[in-house]
Structure 1
Amino acid sequence: MMKPAYWIARSKVIDPEQYLEYVKRAGPASQNYGARILSRGGRFETLEGTLEFQRFVLVEYPSFDAAMEFYYSQAYQEAAAFRRAGAGINELVIVEGEDSG
């Protein structure tokens, strides 16, 4: 059985309008890789660590390989380049989860 993987992003939004455009580009493209958005920009409290980031995203993929394929896909790389051009800064980790069975 495949283990799920989780895309964990901490974001600093610099230009909210442009960042929304990045989300519009990246979000739908992720669906082609089996993504299931668990949390995106909701309520949060930083209990430890830096206060630099104010947006957090958690996305589940069916496997580590699927998450990596999405990250390196042309669609995501184009969206990420758009974000990096001034919309925002991300820290991104993809971590393999545990079997649910």
Structure 2
Amino acid sequence: MKPAYWIARSKIIKPDEYFEYVKRAGPASQKYGAKILSRGGRFEILEGTREFERFVLVEYPSFDAAMEFYHSQAYQDAAAFRLAGAGINELVIAEGEDSG
């Protein structure tokens, strides 16, 4: 089975509301087999826009699992905080290579 990667680039506008999104989305993702690889740590932009200030990389066991999480009610409830103006995201789910 090929893993999939949730890749998010974020700009936080309203920190309290944005971190309410983070507080809810992270635990909800565990039901879908999420493994957080990087979240808000040190970074250096080598090429591209400097608009974003927070980067998140999460591994899921499959593309379908990542998509199921994104469309789940738990994630959509969490995302409502961000979508209400707490932050701006670019979000991509990319399928990885077989690990075998």
> By the TM > 0.5 criterion, same fold?
yes
Tell me the CA shift for residue 68 of structure 1: 0.1
Structure 1, unaligned runs of 5 or more: none
Give distance in 2, aligned partners of 1:83 and 1:25.
11
Structure 2, unaligned runs of 5 or more: none
Tell me the CA shift for residue 17 of structure 1: 1.3
Residue in 1 that maps onto 2:31: 32
Residue in 2 that maps onto 1:71: 70
Q: Secondary structure of the equivalent of 1:95? A: strand
Q: Which runs of 4+ in 1 moved over 2 A?
A: none
Tell me the CA shift for residue 82 of structure 1: 1.4
Specify the code of the residue in structure 2 equivalent to 1:38: L
Residue in 2 that maps onto 1:51: 50
Q: Secondary structure of the equivalent of 1:44? A: coil
Tell me the CA shift for residue 81 of structure 1: 1.4
Identify the range of structure 1 (16-25 vs 34-43) with the bigger mean alpha-carbon deviation: 16-25
Residue in 2 that maps onto 1:88: 87
Residue in 2 that maps onto 1:97: 96
Give distance in 2, aligned partners of 1:81 and 1:45.
29
Q: Secondary structure of the equivalent of 1:19? A: helix
Give distance in 2, aligned partners of 1:100 and 1:29.
25
Give distance in 2, aligned partners of 1:32 and 1:83.
21
Q: Secondary structure of the equivalent of 1:26? A: helix
Q: TM-score, normalised by structure 1?
A: 0.97
